[in-house]
Amino acid sequence: GEESLSQVALRAQRLDLPTDQLKVMAETCVERICEILAQERPVVAILDSIQTLYTETLQSAPGGVSQIRESAALLTRFAKNSGTALFIVGHVTKEGALAGPRVLEHMVDCVLYFEGQSDSRYRMIRAVKNRFGAVNELGVFGMTDKGLREVANPSAIFLSRYNEAIPGSIVMISREGTRPLLVEVQALVDDAQGQPRRVALGLEQNRLNMLLAVMHRHGGVQTSGQDVYVNVVGGLKITETGSDLAVLLACASSLRAKALPQQLAVFGEVGLSGEIRPVPNGQERLKEAVKHGFTHVILPKSNAPQKAIEGVQVIAVSRLHEALQTAMELSE
């Protein structure tokens, strides 16, 4: 609906795609599309994009709310009757949400968001709705000259090792779906020139404000007169609470100009009363850190393994001040 057949053919040739089983049609009328699909009976059909399609039963222009709603209804009805797997491509707004009527999300069985910064060669596919499985899975792909390629070990792209340890940097063990990820978190705490700023990239802004208040009250580390900038390396968006402890340790490291050990990894949720709360799948996170050669892991006491693990020192903490004290001792 958006590109001519010659444009699609040129891209297929450049990517060396096997085109013997691939059929392309430049058509935007939904009735005509359903008619051709009924004749061809394809296994998979991809429509790009829903904003360019229209149905003859309505007089409004393509891309309108009524056209998108009615076109999606006709297509999903056809897919359920014929058994063809239908991929509908839709635009997103500047905020990253699905553009158009929300009923589009209700009609389909699965909603996948294709994320990635324009200057990065990596792309993430995240499920936000899935009637057939979990919605917290994450697929990582690399954009190459031959198209998208799966990244088998995503932790490697979110970790950047330096020749020496630097203040404000720490590795946290996150988890996306069934996959544990090692991600570097960087923090910069500097004297504020006026109103202090709080900036979080890849993390929730309000949660950063809350964590800094908890660190002041229960950790004795004050940042009221400082600008605080926190960034998740690699453009990844972390939505789980297991990143709390890593964020606070990175902020304390930057504020005190003390570099944490490069072989230290952490995870844990921080409560409002300063307690370190357990997170799901602690053992899988710990195994991922051991696999990548980390020798020290700070984690919640409830996530501590029952048996010692060879090659790694597990430091279990139950309060925030314990974690801060332990991390600062390791940095000396």
Task: Based on the fold, state whether residues 82 and 170 are members of the same structural domain.
Answer: no
Task: Based on the fold, state whether residues 320 and 218 are members of the same structural domain.
Answer: yes
Task: Based on the fold, state whether residues 192 and 315 are members of the same structural domain.
Answer: yes
Task: Based on the fold, state whether residues 187 and 63 are members of the same structural domain.
Answer: no
Residue with the bigger pLDDT between 103 and 43: it is 43
In a domain, 323, yes or no: yes
Number of domains in the chain: 2
In a domain, 325, yes or no: yes
Task: Based on the fold, state whether residues 286 and 184 are members of the same structural domain.
Answer: yes
Q: Which residues of 51-62 are buried (b: 16+ CB within 10 A; e: fewer)?
A: bbbbbeeeeeeb
Q: Are 135 and 129 in contact (CB under 8 A)?
A: yes
In the chain, the N- to C-terminal Cα span, in Å, equals: 61
Residue with the bigger pLDDT between 91 and 188: it is 188
Across 298-308, average pLDDT: 92
Give the separation between CA 203 and CA 241, rounded to whole angstroms: 10
**Where in the sequence is the domain holding 93, given as residue range(s)?**
5-108
In a domain, 190, yes or no: yes
Out of 84-88, 162-166, 180-184, 253-257, pick the least confident: 162-166
Q: What are phi and psi of 121, to 5 degrees?
A: -85, 0
In a domain, 257, yes or no: yes
Q: How far is CA 253 from CA 212, 264, 296, 312, in A?
A: 13, 13, 16, 22
In a domain, 120, yes or no: no
Residue 106 corresponds to which amino acid?
A: H
Q: What is the pLDDT of residue 228?
A: 96
Q: What are phi and psi of 317, to 5 degrees?
A: -130, 150
- Reported as type and span, the H/E element at residue 81 is helix 65-82
- Which of 108, 142, 177 marks a domain boundary? 108
Considering the chain, what percentage of its residues have pLDDT values greater than 70? Answer: 94
Task: Based on the fold, state whether residues 88 and 164 are members of the same structural domain.
Answer: no
At residue 190, does pLDDT exceed 90?
A: yes
Task: Based on the fold, state whether residues 165 and 89 are members of the same structural domain.
Answer: no
Give the separation between CA 307 and CA 303, rounded to whole angstroms: 12
In a domain, 187, yes or no: yes
Give the separation between CA 215 and CA 270, rounded to whole angstroms: 9
- What is the overall mean pLDDT for the chain? 89
| Positions of E strands within the chain | 44-48, 85-89, 110-115, 122-130, 138-144, 147-150, 169-176, 179-191, 198-201, 226-232, 264-266, 269-270, 276-277, 296-300, 313-317
Task: Based on the fold, state whether residues 53 and 184 are members of the same structural domain.
Answer: no
- Which of 108, 139, 173 marks a domain boundary? 108
Q: Which residues of 22-40 are buried (b: 16+ CB within 10 A; e: fewer)?
A: eeeeeeeebeebbeebeee
Q: How far is CA 53 from CA 72, 221, 253, 281, in A?
A: 9, 56, 53, 44
Task: Based on the fold, state whether residues 86 and 187 are members of the same structural domain.
Answer: no
- Which of 48, 79, 108 marks a domain boundary? 108
Q: How confident is the model at residue 215 (pLDDT cuts 50, 70, 90)?
A: very high
pTM of the model: 0.67
Task: Based on the fold, state whether residues 104 and 181 are members of the same structural domain.
Answer: no
Residue with the bigger pLDDT between 242 and 65: it is 242
In a domain, 168, yes or no: yes
Q: How confident is the model at residue 232 (pLDDT cuts 50, 70, 90)?
A: very high
Q: How confident is the model at residue 119 (pLDDT cuts 50, 70, 90)?
A: low
- Output the six-digit token pair for 75: 């297509």
Residue with the bigger pLDDT between 105 and 316: it is 316
CA angle 214, 215, 218 (to 5 degrees): 75
Q: Which three-class secondary structure state does DSSP give residue 85?
A: strand
Q: Which of 237, 266, 241, 242 is nearest to 252 (CA)?
A: 266
Task: Based on the fold, state whether residues 317 and 178 are members of the same structural domain.
Answer: yes
Q: Which of 277, 327, 320 is nearest to 302 (CA)?
A: 277
In a domain, 271, yes or no: yes
Give the single-character DSSP code of 253: H
Give the separation between CA 105 and CA 116, rounded to whole angstroms: 21
Task: Based on the fold, state whether residues 98 and 183 are members of the same structural domain.
Answer: no
Q: For the segment 70-92, what is each residue's pLDDT rounded down to a tens digit?
A: 999 999 999 999 999 999 998 87
Domain of residue 254, CATH code: 3.30.230.10
